[in-house]
Amino acid sequence: MKNLALPLSLGALIAVGTAAPAAAQTFEGPYVGAQAGWSQNRLGSVETDLGTATIDDSRDAATAGIFFGYNLQPTAKVVLSAEGAVNFGFDDDLSRAQKDASAAINPEYGFDLGVRAGYLVTDKTLVYARGGYENIRTRVQILDLEGPRSGKDNLDGWSVGGGIERAVTDHISARVEYRYSDLGSGGTKWDRHQVLAGVAWNF
């Protein structure tokens, strides 16, 4: 038994030594994933290429998309990330009809580019803040004294938020995130709140 004790002890130490770095590697390198959740768009007067669309309303809807990025660990506990995503809204169009005018906006899909800064509270749990640029592709319909008009427009904005990401395996992680986006510029009023759940494959 004594002859087996040393090899078994060495084997256990090697197993522990190789398993610990593997968990840390989950948050280092490239990753891709999918996300879905809740989105609320709150619109006031939106300046578009077709004119001013006055909505003054909000709507809750579902959203889903894909994301991709790269994690870097400058220290053992700090994780920095660059990330991009494409998101689609479902049944999230807003409209308003008045006596002599009407307007409708449908935010069909959007792109975002951002950065994350996080801290590993455990080897497998990352708490992070994020911020970045957003671009929303919308379909616009306006009816006023100039007559009916319809078309598409791009609206730019920024977002901030934060979340928690947990390593499920060496390659799979799951996260929950909140975002606030301001898509207003040039007199446009468009705020958006989102709660997103996502799953990522870490290479």
Domain coordinates in residue numbering, the chain: 2-202
pLDDT at 147: 86
Q: pLDDT category, 131, cuts 50, 70, 90?
A: very high
Please tell me whether residue 44 adopts helix, strand or coil conformation: strand
pLDDT at 150: 93
Give the range among 51-55, 127-131, 157-161 with minimum mean pLDDT.
51-55
Q: Which amino acid is at 127?
A: V
* Chain segment 3-31, per-residue pLDDT in tens: 444 344 434 433 434 344 444 578 999 99
Length of the chain: 203
pLDDT at 99: 79
pLDDT at 106 over 80: yes
User: Span 127-154, mean pLDDT?
Assistant: 93
What values do phi and psi take at 101, rounded to 5?
Answer: -160, 155
Instruction: Classify domain 2-202 at the CATH class level.
Output: mainly beta
Predicted TM-score (pTM) of the model is: 0.83
Q: In the chain, how many H helices and how many E strands?
A: 1, 9
